[in-house]
Amino acid sequence: MAAARMGNMEIQPDDNYTWRKYGQKEILGSRFPRAYYRCTHQKLYKCPAKKQVQRLDDDPYMFRVTYRGSHTCHFFTKSPISSAAVTATTATVRYGLCSAIWTLLFL
């Protein structure tokens, strides 16, 4: 299996919970497949939060991690985001030699 696949998980730092991969699909326009994660175990059905990891075709060393949904399963007691609608927070975090773009989407 693809080293790329494992590479995906290699970069994934555990935020506060464990994520269960429930799917993977190749996206047109991207040379790398996108992975879909969800809360595992008991939070499987209670946490609408979903995690989406996609590699940038331009920068294989850059991973775009998109969190979408409420942070029911996260320990984000203080959310700087109070505005309604869709708020996107983009932050650049560097893990070792790779850079990751974290985007938080609250629906």
Residues that bind DNA (CB under 7 A): 1, 5, 9, 18-29, 34, 36, 38, 40-41, 50, 52
- Between residues 1 and 78, which has the closer beta carbon with respect to DNA? 1
What's the min distance (Å) between Cβ of 3 and DNA?
A: 11
Cβ distance to DNA smaller for residue 23 or 60 = 23
CB-nearer residue toward DNA: 47 or 100: 47
Q: Are 54 and 27 in contact (CB under 8 A)?
A: yes
Q: How far is the CB of 27 from DNA (least distance, A)?
A: 4
- Which is nearest to 22 in space by CA: 3, 39, 6, 10? 39
Instruction: Please tell me the distance from the alpha carbon of residue 65 to that of residue 50, in angstroms, as a whole number.
Output: 10
Q: What single letter denotes the amino acid at residue 100?
A: A
Q: Shortest Cβ distance from residue 9 to DNA (Å)?
A: 7
Q: Are strands 62-68 and 50-55 parallel, antiparallel or unpaired?
A: antiparallel
